[in-house]
Structure 1
């Protein structure tokens, strides 16, 4: 047979699946006519089909050299290269083919598949889109695009790039509206961006498709909680646990939200179980913040809880090489970076703003790195002006944010959020700064090797408690909590405007409802009984808590109407209404923090009880700095006796009010300029220690 006859005979056998016969004929052809391009091409295709990829690459490569300009040859060479694991070379061949046949849907699909395998996900996404324009009904193309979108979304979410995650998951959910996982993942990305209402819609769509998914019920509960719809949140957590009894974090959320509602049924049993998980089930996702407020938890257990959390959440990031390596500084001033999601109208602003304004700019450069929502309030605008550089890192991934901080040559990075809502402590896990510290946001240890210091004071964290903290304790000389003496203050309202009686003694507590425990509330009820003309003025955290506290009062034999709830109002108005409070009653095991400073600033004496953990000693520290250590009790019995003594001795109580008023501007608690100098001295000490002992992770 002549060469053409041999080629057609081989091709016919090939098409009929007679591969051994076809290969024999191709080889006869090439033995006599090695320059036969089509013979080289199709023998290469046959070798590919037989799993002999290197032979396929050689023969198809020969065909391209002999007869350039054939898109099919580039496509088949790309397929052989892809099958042999040579992905970049395959991508090159598919692109060469597309130069010749730009409307070939199969080439676009093959390019997308190779790019996906090579990890070029964004390029693969665009290539799949091009393929869909040419072959829109091809199920493999649609499946490939969905897989790439899923991978892109997962990678973006894991990296903390939630804007990108939303983009990818939204496209996936639009393409495949019947896929519950797509809506679930979109909900997660929306929630991380502070869009709880939109996240709730996505979770609800997911549950309509997969009503038995425990994780979706749990996450829907999280956004209901953030939207202050606590009964709905609790119902979601209960359903999640019903579906998966081992969903530890759902149980923790449930118990903590019941605390917000002051629903104390089974509280002791629930807390005992969670404490056991902390000790015995390290993989359980027990929120360190929720754990701080659970009665009976010890400093050792809080340490273990935080360490478990750090390993579970940040283990992968901690295993990566730290961004900061020993290198010379290129600037003169010590660069302090503050990291927070709460640079807005938030209690943090009433603590740190003036301190930021008063930092010594000759010796320090001050930057704020914000990943929270810009609420466009005067508080936000003032914070932006209070620092040298205000950087919005919200759109950035964890690594991008850490790289920005590192590129800015921050010397000491101070995390003001810790393990509270919307935390992005993973930025610290990447070690962008040589010295990293935790302060103010989270009242406890972070249990993480990437936090070198915990800024505190000797009252809250005495030296003998060092073993309960993975951070080295960096102690300020007075209270660890700064104050803004420029807080706005509205005109004082009348009692009637506050729904208060015109006469009678007013106990108050403006702490959040989750801090109120059965033991503390029982103490308050005994005080009300002992002071017949008194009322208890509480913050209206939520309607459920108000109703439950009134029921609890009735159970204690106290008229529920003696509990009056103060609605949430702007800070200046809230401060102004303090004028009607006679005595602030603190909580335990989680003290008043910012609320204590507010009360003392407004001249309201505060009685507290010294706890055994960080969160339970903050008010003790504030009272000591305010010059009122006598108002600290060592246990609830003496706390109750002290409060009763003050209410029964009006002259003594008035003496304390007068002391607060006359010494306020001179006390260590409200000396913001002095606090700023003390903090700067502490920063210099930490920086100097850096050159003697390297912090972990560098």
Structure 2
């Protein structure tokens, strides 16, 4: 029953990220979920210490997504580019074994891959303690099938939240949350129970080996040949009335445009069409794309002239996919981690002018771009030509930044100092 309660709480926290809310409410909800995960847990005896200076830092990652999943797709390039002499990496996996090419890459990129599907939380913690892990990293947070309760046993001297959950975990057993200047500015520290550790560039890793397929044709996806296509491939639960209002005003201001959305489920499709009509926009101007395999999805993205982000839960992986395929995205950066991810990505590809500080600014920026085709094409060319050189797609650069943070965490621990905020530092 305790696990059921924790699962319900984590589902509520994750859902809250997609709804307008004050950051203080998010922290409170996350704290409640973290306490449920820790209910009845007695931490392991003894206080583990970080290994001696000069020895490799032993990093462990906990997740059930080390297979053909977005987390693995994002992480694999950084894992492959890591410094193998200075960092020893173990993946603690409790997810499925799909033997996919992605899973094989992930396995090959680490020193050890430990299957933990059949063990209890305490047994996981005991194995991690026995392995002498210095820095234990949770890649799930309050998402489905999380095992964040393992961290309540305190199996490692330094415990970190990273990548899988856009916000505070609310747990006193997580020491740091890894972000960057955009998603976790230090002035937002009161919204976090963890100390903020900032990457020197965007916190989101990406894989330079991801496919770059030839673009599809508009006819293949039922798009009008001569219209301006505005795209958004986020799941329907991320679309809130305020965002949809802005989209409809943009469509009204640009009559030769249409909105290309993901066909998430029939009820959502019907609702969105109805709401467009209620706002004076023909439902025929909303075109829905079925879900597709990764390579097919990437191939269709350049058919959109411009991507429209949504808030308070931005495009995350879907934003980096669009930028990878040369499609600019307009975003509104709000007050929460989840509402600032696209801003971080845009800054990392040299397009900060597409980051807006209000819905009105968002609408004006999108409308201005759609009315200035030469400028829009310049932005697309900037992305196409810089794709292989932007920091956000450089796995080696990302690995160096992440390892720099891990080194700073370890040095503080060896000196007997408690966790503290780690502002972004330039790469050596």
TM-score, with normalisation over the residues of structure 1? 0.58
Distance in 1 separating the partners of 2:24 and 2:264: 30
Question: Is 2:420 the counterpart of 1:420?
Answer: no
- Give the deviation of 1:547 after TM superposition: 1.2
Output aligned runs, 1:31-430, within 5 Å. Answer: 287-295=12-20, 297-317=21-41, 320-323=42-45, 325-327=47-49, 329=51, 332-430=55-153
| Greater alpha carbon shift after TM alignment, 409-418 vs 655-664 | 655-664
Distance in 1, Cα, partners of 2:175 & 2:195: 6
Larger Rg, first or second structure (1 or 2)? 1
Alpha-carbon distance between aligned partners in 1 of 2:61 and 2:281, rounded to the nearest angstrom: 47
Q: Deviations over 1:458-496 (max 9, x none)?
A: 111111111111101011111110101111244432211
TM-aligned CA deviation for residue 695 of structure 1: 4.9
How far has the Cα of 1:664 moved from its partner?
2.0
1:636 corresponds to 2:325: no
Query: 2: distance between equivalents of 1:614 and 1:671?
Result: 22
SS at match of 2:88: strand
Give the distance between the partners of 1:339 and 1:328, measured in 2 at CA.
18
Deviation for aligned residue 1:327: 4.8
Aligned-residue offset at 1:285: 7.8
Rounded to whole Å, the distance in 2 between the matches of 1:638 and 1:591 is 16
Aligned counterpart for 1:471 among listed residues 194, 218, 221: 194
Could you list the per-position Cα deviations for residues 357-415 of structure 1 after superposition, in whole angstroms to 9, with x for gaps in the alignment?
11110111111111112233222222122211111111110011111111111110111
| Equivalent-residue separation in structure 1 for 2:51 and 2:416 (angstroms) | 17
> Does structure 2 conserve the Cα–Cα contact (< 8 Å) formed by 1:437 and 1:452?
yes
Aligned to 2:167: 444
Q: Secondary structure at the match of 1:360?
A: coil
Structure with higher RCO (Cα < 8 A, 6+ apart): 2
1:291-338 Cα shifts (integer Å, max 9, x gaps): 11112x111111111112212331321xx1335524574892111111
Alpha-carbon shift at residue 448 of structure 1 (Å): 0.6
- The question of whether the paired residues in 1 share the 8 Å contact of 2:61 and 2:92 is answered with yes
Structure with more of its chain in helix, by fraction: 1
Residue 541 of structure 1, aligned match among 240, 253, 264: 264
Do the aligned partners of 1:324 and 1:432 also contact (CA within 8 Å) in 2? no
- Partners of 1:524 and 1:465 in 2: CA distance: 29
**RMSD after superposition:** 2.0
Would you say how many aligned residue pairs link Structure 1 and Structure 2?
A: 418
Partner of 2:210: 487
Contact 2:48/2:155, CA 8 A, preserved across alignment: no
**Which residue pairs with 1:457 in the alignment?**
180
- Please tell me whether the aligned partners of residues 591 and 615 of structure 1 are also in contact (alpha carbons under 8 angstroms): yes
- Superposition pairs of residues 9-24 of structure 1, within 5 angstroms: none
CA distance in 2, matches of 1:534, 1:298: 34
Contact 2:152 2:173 in 1 (8 A): yes
Q: Using the alignment, how far apart are the partners of 2:297 and 2:11 within structure 1?
A: 34
- Give the direction of change, closer, same or farther, for the CA distance of 1:527–1:327 in structure 2 (3 Å limit): closer
The CA distance in 1 between the partners of 2:10 and 2:228, in whole Å, is 44
**How much has 1:537 moved relative to structure 2?**
0.7
Segments of structure 1 that go 5 or more residues without pairing to the other structure are 1-153, 161-187, 189-214, 223-248, 250-283
1:671 aligns with 2:406: no
Query: Is 1:435 aligned with 2:158?
Result: yes
Q: Which runs of 5+ in 2 are unaligned?
A: 420-428
2:174 is paired with a residue whose SS is coil
- SS in structure 2 at match of 1:322: coil
1:129-180 per-position Cα deviation (integer Å, ceiling 9, x unaligned): xxxxxxxxxxxxxxxxxxxxxxxxx8xxx6x8xxxxxxxxxxxxxxxxxxxx
**Following TM superposition, by how much is the alpha carbon of 1:506 offset from its aligned partner in structure 2, in angstroms?**
0.4
The structure with the greater share of residues assigned to strand is: 2
